Amino acid sequence: MSNTSPSVASLIESLLFIHGEPLSRARLAKALSVSEKDIASGLDMLRKRYEDPDSGLTLIEKGKDVEIATRPDNAGAVERLIVADREETLGKATLETLSVVAYRAPVSRASIDAIRGVNSSFALRSLLLRGLIERRSNPLDAREYEYEPSLRLLELLGIGSIEELPDYGSLARDAALEAVVAGDTVPREHQDLHETDNGH
């Protein structure tokens, strides 16, 4: 095993990949304990790396926020996979994440992770690609996003509003879940929960 420390560019790439949402340069700098100048240099390296036609990724930047996305030239192959994926049955992790979004919306990824006890990035990405949920900026915190059910989900469920879900009134504001989101406790059943959804 190599003892060489990973470069800032490598670390940025890993954080953007696992986070699944745009990250600001300031937040990246704080997470990596480096300066924003170091982040700028790392992003320059990633940008040059993604200019290689053999790279399947590209860097999207909007203001101070950055995000990793698939290369536009590969859109056809990506779309075919998405279409095929939509036709497959949702796995346990994705269904669990969808349930949290449906009953707790609008809900941040941090809250979803707290309720489930695991990282939900891949499950959220799968649901976004399927068009079952939507993402919007959090009006109370510009650094994060909130997730909510999409109209497509309501259509598929055959309901006019999310409030028509079974036991919505009690589950949407369950006291135990409120405590979890507040960081007071994590249910035992979530402590050893692992993603089992084939990468989603």
CATH architecture of the domain with range 8-72: Orthogonal Bundle (1.10)
Q: What is the pLDDT of residue 85?
A: 63
pLDDT band at 45 (very low <50, low <70, confident <90, very high): very high
- The terminus-to-terminus CA distance of the chain in angstroms comes to 29
CATH 1.10.10.10 in the chain, residue ranges: 8-72, 88-191
Q: Is the pLDDT of residue 177 over 80?
A: no
Taking alpha carbons only, the member of 69, 76, 12 closest to residue 41 is: 12
Contacts of 111 (CB under 8 A, 6+ apart): 104, 181
In which band, very low, low, confident or very high, does the pLDDT at 88 lie, cut at 50, 70 and 90?
Answer: low
Q: What is the pLDDT of residues 1-18, one digit of tens each?
A: 445 678 999 999 999 988
Q: Which of 137, 154, 132, 106 has the alpha carbon at shortest distance from 200?
A: 132
Quick: pLDDT tens for 103-146.
Answer: 999 999 989 999 999 989 889 988 988 889 999 988 887 778 89
What confidence tens digit (pLDDT) does each residue in 153-173 have? Answer: 888 888 888 888 888 877 776
| Other CB atoms within 10 A of residue 163 CB | 9
More confident residue, 113 or 196: 113
Strand ranges inside 38-195, DSSP E: 57-62, 65-70, 107-108, 133-138, 141-149
Average pLDDT over the chain, rounded to an integer: 81
pTM as predicted: 0.56
User: How is domain 88-191 classified at the architecture level of CATH?
Assistant: Orthogonal Bundle (1.10)
Q: What pLDDT is stored for residue 6 in this prediction?
A: 83
Query: Is the model's pLDDT at 180 over the cut of 70?
Result: no
